[in-house]
Amino acid sequence: MNSAVQFEVLACAGQRRIGVATLNRPQTLNGLTLEMCELLQEQLTLWENDAAIAMVVLAGAGGKAFCAGGDLHGLYQAMQENTGGAWDNAYARRFFEVEYRLDYHIHTYSKPVLCWGSGIVMGGGVGLMMGASHRVVTETTRFAMPEITIGLFPDVGGTWMLSRLPRGIGNFLALSGAQLGAGDLRMLGLADYVLPAASWPQVLEQLRALDWPGERRAADIQLGRVLREAGAGLAAQESGPLQRHYEAINNACDGADLAAISAYIADLQASDDPWLQRAAATHRAGSPGSARLCFELLRRSQLLSLADAFRQEYIVSLHCGVEGDFREGIRALLIDKDKSPKWNPARLADATPAWVERFFKQPWPARQAHPLADLEARPQTG
Protein backbone atom coordinates (compact mmCIF):
# COMPACT_ATOMS: atom_id res chain seq x y z
CA MET A 1 0.00 0.00 0.00
CA ASN A 2 1.30 3.44 -0.90
CA SER A 3 1.91 5.78 1.99
CA ALA A 4 -0.30 8.85 2.33
CA VAL A 5 2.95 10.83 2.11
CA GLN A 6 5.84 9.55 0.03
CA PHE A 7 9.36 10.48 1.11
CA GLU A 8 12.39 10.33 -1.14
CA VAL A 9 16.01 11.41 -0.75
CA LEU A 10 17.63 12.52 -4.00
CA ALA A 11 21.37 12.47 -4.57
CA CYS A 12 22.93 15.67 -5.91
CA ALA A 13 26.19 16.53 -7.66
CA GLY A 14 28.03 17.05 -4.38
CA GLN A 15 27.83 15.24 -1.07
CA ARG A 16 24.51 16.71 0.05
CA ARG A 17 20.97 15.60 -0.82
CA ILE A 18 17.42 16.86 -1.32
CA GLY A 19 14.50 15.53 0.73
CA VAL A 20 11.22 15.33 -1.18
CA ALA A 21 7.86 14.92 0.59
CA THR A 22 4.94 14.25 -1.76
CA LEU A 23 1.36 14.30 -0.50
CA ASN A 24 -0.04 11.12 -1.98
CA ARG A 25 -3.83 11.09 -1.80
CA PRO A 26 -4.70 12.34 -5.30
CA GLN A 27 -8.19 10.82 -5.10
CA THR A 28 -9.00 13.38 -2.38
CA LEU A 29 -6.91 16.14 -3.99
CA ASN A 30 -4.28 15.39 -1.34
CA GLY A 31 -6.56 16.32 1.54
CA LEU A 32 -4.48 16.51 4.72
CA THR A 33 -5.23 13.90 7.39
CA LEU A 34 -3.90 13.64 10.92
CA GLU A 35 -1.73 10.73 9.83
CA MET A 36 -0.20 12.82 7.04
CA CYS A 37 0.55 15.67 9.44
CA GLU A 38 2.26 13.26 11.82
CA LEU A 39 4.29 11.69 9.02
CA LEU A 40 5.38 15.07 7.71
CA GLN A 41 6.33 16.39 11.13
CA GLU A 42 8.42 13.32 11.93
CA GLN A 43 10.25 13.32 8.60
CA LEU A 44 10.85 17.06 8.48
CA THR A 45 12.42 16.84 11.93
CA LEU A 46 14.70 14.01 10.81
CA TRP A 47 15.77 15.90 7.69
CA GLU A 48 16.34 19.09 9.64
CA ASN A 49 18.75 17.25 11.93
CA ASP A 50 20.52 15.45 9.07
CA ALA A 51 23.55 17.42 7.88
CA ALA A 52 23.45 15.60 4.54
CA ILE A 53 20.05 17.13 3.63
CA ALA A 54 20.53 20.48 1.94
CA MET A 55 16.91 21.42 1.35
CA VAL A 56 13.36 20.04 1.40
CA VAL A 57 10.67 19.95 -1.29
CA LEU A 58 6.92 19.77 -0.64
CA ALA A 59 4.75 18.64 -3.56
CA GLY A 60 1.45 16.92 -4.31
CA ALA A 61 0.75 13.82 -6.38
CA GLY A 62 -1.74 13.59 -9.23
CA GLY A 63 -1.22 16.87 -11.04
CA LYS A 64 -4.53 18.46 -9.98
CA ALA A 65 -3.70 19.75 -6.53
CA PHE A 66 -0.92 20.42 -4.09
CA CYS A 67 -3.42 20.11 -1.21
CA ALA A 68 -7.10 21.03 -1.26
CA GLY A 69 -7.66 21.17 2.50
CA GLY A 70 -7.88 19.20 5.72
CA ASP A 71 -9.61 16.03 6.91
CA LEU A 72 -13.20 17.27 7.19
CA HIS A 73 -14.71 13.78 7.30
CA GLY A 74 -12.60 12.81 10.32
CA LEU A 75 -13.43 16.05 12.12
CA TYR A 76 -17.14 15.63 11.35
CA GLN A 77 -17.20 12.13 12.81
CA ALA A 78 -15.43 13.33 15.94
CA MET A 79 -17.90 16.21 16.33
CA GLN A 80 -20.81 13.78 15.93
CA GLU A 81 -19.43 11.51 18.63
CA ASN A 82 -18.56 14.29 21.08
CA THR A 83 -21.26 14.79 23.72
CA GLY A 84 -19.27 17.24 25.82
CA GLY A 85 -17.71 20.65 25.38
CA ALA A 86 -14.95 22.01 23.19
CA TRP A 87 -12.17 20.38 25.24
CA ASP A 88 -13.84 16.97 25.20
CA ASN A 89 -13.23 16.34 21.49
CA ALA A 90 -9.96 14.43 21.72
CA TYR A 91 -9.58 13.98 17.96
CA ALA A 92 -10.01 17.70 17.24
CA ARG A 93 -7.53 18.56 20.00
CA ARG A 94 -4.95 16.24 18.46
CA PHE A 95 -5.64 17.16 14.83
CA PHE A 96 -5.37 20.92 15.25
CA GLU A 97 -2.35 20.69 17.55
CA VAL A 98 -0.38 18.47 15.17
CA GLU A 99 -1.39 20.44 12.08
CA TYR A 100 -0.56 23.82 13.60
CA ARG A 101 2.77 22.58 14.97
CA LEU A 102 3.64 21.27 11.51
CA ASP A 103 2.77 24.57 9.86
CA TYR A 104 4.78 26.52 12.42
CA HIS A 105 7.70 24.13 11.93
CA ILE A 106 7.73 24.92 8.21
CA HIS A 107 7.63 28.66 8.91
CA THR A 108 10.66 28.33 11.19
CA TYR A 109 12.55 25.58 9.34
CA SER A 110 16.32 25.94 9.42
CA LYS A 111 16.81 24.80 5.80
CA PRO A 112 15.30 25.99 2.52
CA VAL A 113 11.82 24.62 1.82
CA LEU A 114 10.51 24.68 -1.74
CA CYS A 115 6.74 24.28 -2.02
CA TRP A 116 5.51 23.38 -5.51
CA GLY A 117 2.06 24.98 -5.20
CA SER A 118 0.63 23.90 -8.54
CA GLY A 119 -3.08 23.17 -8.96
CA ILE A 120 -5.49 23.56 -6.04
CA VAL A 121 -4.01 25.08 -2.87
CA MET A 122 -6.72 25.62 -0.28
CA GLY A 123 -7.22 25.43 3.48
CA GLY A 124 -4.64 23.05 4.94
CA GLY A 125 -2.62 23.32 1.72
CA VAL A 126 -2.27 27.06 2.29
CA GLY A 127 -0.96 26.31 5.78
CA LEU A 128 1.80 24.12 4.35
CA MET A 129 2.69 26.48 1.50
CA MET A 130 2.76 29.77 3.37
CA GLY A 131 5.61 28.79 5.65
CA ALA A 132 7.90 27.64 2.85
CA SER A 133 10.92 29.80 2.11
CA HIS A 134 10.48 29.37 -1.67
CA ARG A 135 6.82 29.29 -2.76
CA VAL A 136 6.24 28.37 -6.41
CA VAL A 137 2.92 28.74 -8.23
CA THR A 138 1.97 27.92 -11.82
CA GLU A 139 -0.67 28.76 -14.40
CA THR A 140 -2.88 26.06 -12.84
CA THR A 141 -2.72 27.33 -9.25
CA ARG A 142 -6.09 28.01 -7.59
CA PHE A 143 -5.38 29.42 -4.14
CA ALA A 144 -8.15 30.20 -1.63
CA MET A 145 -9.28 30.13 1.98
CA PRO A 146 -13.00 29.27 1.51
CA GLU A 147 -13.75 28.24 5.10
CA ILE A 148 -16.79 30.55 5.31
CA THR A 149 -18.59 27.94 3.18
CA ILE A 150 -18.23 25.29 5.91
CA GLY A 151 -18.74 27.42 9.00
CA LEU A 152 -15.07 27.68 9.91
CA PHE A 153 -12.47 30.45 9.39
CA PRO A 154 -9.08 30.73 7.63
CA ASP A 155 -6.98 28.81 10.15
CA VAL A 156 -3.53 27.11 9.72
CA GLY A 157 -2.02 30.58 10.20
CA GLY A 158 -4.45 32.08 7.70
CA THR A 159 -5.62 34.76 10.13
CA TRP A 160 -2.01 35.90 10.60
CA MET A 161 -1.41 35.88 6.84
CA LEU A 162 -4.60 37.72 5.85
CA SER A 163 -4.29 40.28 8.64
CA ARG A 164 -0.94 41.35 7.18
CA LEU A 165 -2.37 42.13 3.78
CA PRO A 166 -3.90 45.57 3.21
CA ARG A 167 -6.89 45.51 5.56
CA GLY A 168 -9.61 45.59 2.92
CA ILE A 169 -7.99 42.84 0.87
CA GLY A 170 -7.63 40.47 3.82
CA ASN A 171 -11.24 41.00 4.82
CA PHE A 172 -12.44 40.42 1.26
CA LEU A 173 -10.51 37.17 0.81
CA ALA A 174 -11.69 35.80 4.17
CA LEU A 175 -15.33 36.75 3.65
CA SER A 176 -15.60 35.72 -0.01
CA GLY A 177 -13.27 32.71 -0.32
CA ALA A 178 -12.18 34.27 -3.63
CA GLN A 179 -9.71 32.20 -5.63
CA LEU A 180 -6.36 33.71 -6.62
CA GLY A 181 -4.08 32.76 -9.49
CA ALA A 182 -0.37 33.22 -10.01
CA GLY A 183 -0.47 36.91 -10.94
CA ASP A 184 -2.48 38.01 -7.92
CA LEU A 185 -0.44 35.81 -5.57
CA ARG A 186 2.79 37.39 -6.76
CA MET A 187 1.31 40.87 -6.42
CA LEU A 188 0.24 40.20 -2.82
CA GLY A 189 3.55 38.58 -1.89
CA LEU A 190 1.89 35.21 -1.21
CA ALA A 191 4.06 33.46 -3.81
CA ASP A 192 7.70 33.99 -4.73
CA TYR A 193 8.08 32.42 -8.19
CA VAL A 194 5.84 31.66 -11.17
CA LEU A 195 6.87 28.66 -13.31
CA PRO A 196 5.12 26.56 -15.95
CA ALA A 197 3.38 23.55 -14.42
CA ALA A 198 5.09 21.25 -16.92
CA SER A 199 8.56 22.41 -15.89
CA TRP A 200 8.67 20.52 -12.58
CA PRO A 201 10.70 17.48 -13.74
CA GLN A 202 13.30 19.75 -15.34
CA VAL A 203 13.50 21.98 -12.27
CA LEU A 204 14.07 18.97 -10.04
CA GLU A 205 16.85 17.74 -12.32
CA GLN A 206 18.49 21.16 -12.23
CA LEU A 207 18.41 21.09 -8.44
CA ARG A 208 19.98 17.65 -8.38
CA ALA A 209 22.78 18.77 -10.71
CA LEU A 210 24.06 21.30 -8.15
CA ASP A 211 26.64 21.01 -5.41
CA TRP A 212 24.70 22.36 -2.44
CA PRO A 213 26.45 24.56 0.15
CA GLY A 214 26.06 23.84 3.84
CA GLU A 215 25.39 27.46 4.81
CA ARG A 216 21.70 28.42 4.86
CA ARG A 217 21.91 31.79 3.15
CA ALA A 218 24.06 30.44 0.35
CA ALA A 219 21.58 27.59 -0.19
CA ASP A 220 18.68 30.06 -0.29
CA ILE A 221 20.48 32.13 -2.90
CA GLN A 222 21.30 29.12 -5.03
CA LEU A 223 17.73 27.80 -4.92
CA GLY A 224 16.31 31.21 -5.75
CA ARG A 225 18.63 31.55 -8.74
CA VAL A 226 17.45 28.21 -10.19
CA LEU A 227 13.78 29.14 -9.78
CA ARG A 228 14.20 32.61 -11.29
CA GLU A 229 16.02 31.20 -14.30
CA ALA A 230 13.37 28.50 -14.77
CA GLY A 231 10.69 31.18 -14.98
CA ALA A 232 12.70 33.69 -16.97
CA GLY A 233 11.25 32.64 -20.33
CA LEU A 234 7.65 33.23 -19.30
CA ALA A 235 5.71 36.08 -20.82
CA ALA A 236 4.73 38.83 -18.40
CA GLN A 237 1.99 37.60 -16.09
CA GLU A 238 -1.45 38.79 -17.09
CA SER A 239 -3.05 41.02 -14.48
CA GLY A 240 -5.29 38.93 -12.22
CA PRO A 241 -8.87 39.84 -11.28
CA LEU A 242 -7.89 41.06 -7.83
CA GLN A 243 -5.38 43.46 -9.37
CA ARG A 244 -8.05 44.81 -11.73
CA HIS A 245 -10.44 45.52 -8.83
CA TYR A 246 -7.84 46.14 -6.14
CA GLU A 247 -8.55 49.76 -5.29
CA ALA A 248 -12.34 49.37 -5.13
CA ILE A 249 -12.14 46.24 -2.97
CA ASN A 250 -9.52 47.65 -0.62
CA ASN A 251 -11.50 50.83 -0.05
CA ALA A 252 -14.89 49.15 0.37
CA CYS A 253 -13.75 46.28 2.60
CA ASP A 254 -11.63 48.30 5.03
CA GLY A 255 -12.87 49.70 8.30
CA ALA A 256 -14.87 48.50 11.30
CA ASP A 257 -18.34 48.20 9.73
CA LEU A 258 -18.77 44.50 8.97
CA ALA A 259 -22.38 44.98 7.88
CA ALA A 260 -21.33 47.50 5.22
CA ILE A 261 -18.48 45.28 4.01
CA SER A 262 -20.82 42.29 3.81
CA ALA A 263 -23.38 44.30 1.85
CA TYR A 264 -20.71 45.47 -0.60
CA ILE A 265 -19.50 41.91 -1.29
CA ALA A 266 -23.07 40.59 -1.61
CA ASP A 267 -23.91 43.32 -4.12
CA LEU A 268 -21.06 42.23 -6.37
CA GLN A 269 -23.48 39.67 -7.80
CA ALA A 270 -24.60 42.47 -10.12
CA SER A 271 -21.08 42.82 -11.54
CA ASP A 272 -20.28 41.76 -15.08
CA ASP A 273 -17.07 40.09 -13.85
CA PRO A 274 -17.56 36.33 -13.18
CA TRP A 275 -14.82 36.40 -10.53
CA LEU A 276 -16.69 39.04 -8.52
CA GLN A 277 -19.99 37.24 -9.07
CA ARG A 278 -18.51 34.04 -7.65
CA ALA A 279 -17.10 35.91 -4.65
CA ALA A 280 -20.54 37.40 -3.99
CA ALA A 281 -22.26 34.03 -4.30
CA THR A 282 -19.82 32.39 -1.90
CA HIS A 283 -20.29 35.14 0.66
CA ARG A 284 -24.07 35.14 0.40
CA ALA A 285 -24.22 31.35 0.85
CA GLY A 286 -21.65 31.29 3.65
CA SER A 287 -22.11 31.19 7.40
CA PRO A 288 -22.97 34.59 8.95
CA GLY A 289 -21.32 33.42 12.16
CA SER A 290 -18.14 32.59 10.25
CA ALA A 291 -18.22 36.04 8.67
CA ARG A 292 -18.23 37.65 12.11
CA LEU A 293 -15.57 35.24 13.34
CA CYS A 294 -13.30 35.90 10.34
CA PHE A 295 -13.68 39.64 10.75
CA GLU A 296 -12.92 39.54 14.47
CA LEU A 297 -9.95 37.18 14.07
CA LEU A 298 -8.29 39.35 11.45
CA ARG A 299 -8.72 42.38 13.68
CA ARG A 300 -7.22 40.60 16.70
CA SER A 301 -4.37 39.00 14.71
CA GLN A 302 -2.85 42.18 13.33
CA LEU A 303 -0.37 42.67 16.16
CA LEU A 304 0.11 39.03 17.18
CA SER A 305 3.26 37.03 16.61
CA LEU A 306 2.90 33.99 14.38
CA ALA A 307 3.01 31.69 17.42
CA ASP A 308 0.33 33.69 19.23
CA ALA A 309 -1.85 33.64 16.12
CA PHE A 310 -1.63 29.84 16.04
CA ARG A 311 -2.47 29.72 19.74
CA GLN A 312 -5.51 31.92 19.20
CA GLU A 313 -6.64 29.85 16.20
CA TYR A 314 -6.34 26.66 18.26
CA ILE A 315 -8.78 27.95 20.88
CA VAL A 316 -11.24 29.17 18.26
CA SER A 317 -11.02 25.94 16.23
CA LEU A 318 -11.97 23.82 19.24
CA HIS A 319 -14.96 26.03 19.95
CA CYS A 320 -16.08 25.84 16.34
CA GLY A 321 -16.70 22.14 16.86
CA VAL A 322 -19.42 22.78 19.44
CA GLU A 323 -20.43 26.45 19.27
CA GLY A 324 -20.65 27.36 15.62
CA ASP A 325 -21.62 26.12 12.19
CA PHE A 326 -18.65 23.88 11.41
CA ARG A 327 -20.51 20.59 11.79
CA GLU A 328 -23.50 21.83 9.79
CA GLY A 329 -21.29 23.18 7.04
CA ILE A 330 -19.49 19.85 6.57
CA ARG A 331 -22.82 17.99 6.68
CA ALA A 332 -24.32 20.10 3.91
CA LEU A 333 -21.23 20.00 1.70
CA LEU A 334 -19.78 16.52 2.15
CA ILE A 335 -22.10 14.23 4.13
CA ASP A 336 -25.67 14.78 2.89
CA LYS A 337 -24.44 16.93 -0.01
CA ASP A 338 -27.66 18.94 -0.09
CA LYS A 339 -25.70 22.22 -0.12
CA SER A 340 -28.43 23.74 2.04
CA PRO A 341 -26.84 24.42 5.43
CA LYS A 342 -29.04 25.77 8.19
CA TRP A 343 -26.76 28.39 9.69
CA ASN A 344 -27.15 29.50 13.29
CA PRO A 345 -27.25 32.45 13.57
CA ALA A 346 -28.99 32.77 10.23
CA ARG A 347 -28.38 36.51 9.89
CA LEU A 348 -25.26 38.60 10.23
CA ALA A 349 -27.18 41.01 12.46
CA ASP A 350 -27.48 38.22 15.05
CA ALA A 351 -23.76 37.35 14.89
CA THR A 352 -22.85 40.28 17.08
CA PRO A 353 -19.50 41.20 18.66
CA ALA A 354 -20.92 39.97 21.97
CA TRP A 355 -22.00 36.66 20.40
CA VAL A 356 -18.51 35.95 19.02
CA GLU A 357 -16.73 36.36 22.37
CA ARG A 358 -17.52 32.74 23.34
CA PHE A 359 -15.05 31.50 20.71
CA PHE A 360 -12.07 33.14 22.43
CA LYS A 361 -12.46 31.63 25.90
CA GLN A 362 -9.89 29.06 27.02
CA PRO A 363 -11.66 25.67 26.91
CA TRP A 364 -9.24 23.62 29.04
CA PRO A 365 -8.90 23.50 32.84
CA ALA A 366 -7.77 26.77 34.39
CA ARG A 367 -4.35 25.64 35.60
CA GLN A 368 -3.39 23.83 32.40
CA ALA A 369 -0.95 25.45 29.98
CA HIS A 370 -1.92 26.12 26.40
CA PRO A 371 -1.14 22.99 24.31
CA LEU A 372 0.90 25.20 21.95
CA ALA A 373 2.60 27.19 24.71
CA ASP A 374 6.08 26.10 23.58
CA LEU A 375 5.85 27.15 19.92
CA GLU A 376 8.20 30.09 20.29
CA ALA A 377 10.87 27.78 21.65
CA ARG A 378 11.73 27.49 17.93
CA PRO A 379 13.15 30.85 16.82
CA GLN A 380 11.64 32.06 13.55
CA THR A 381 13.93 32.20 10.55
CA GLY A 382 14.09 35.49 8.72
The catalytic residue positions are 70, 124, 147, 155
79 forms bridges with which residues in the sheet? none
Could you tell me if 226 and 209 are in contact, meaning their C-beta atoms sit under 8 angstroms apart?
A: no
Could you tell me if 137 and 118 are in contact, meaning their C-beta atoms sit under 8 angstroms apart?
A: yes
Q: Report DSSP state, residue 335.
A: I
Asked, as a colleague might, if the bond just before 345 is cis with ω within 30 of 0, I would say yes
Q: How far apart are CA 54 and CA 271, in angstroms?
A: 49
Q: Residues in the chain, how many?
A: 382
Could you tell me if 245 and 189 are in contact, meaning their C-beta atoms sit under 8 angstroms apart?
A: no
Q: What is the DSSP string of 93-159?
A: HHHHHHHHHHHHHHHT-SS-EEEEE-SEEETHHHHHHHT-SEEEE-TT-EEE--GGGGT---TTTHH
Tell me which residue of 297, 286, 289, 296 sits closest to 332, measured CA to CA: 286
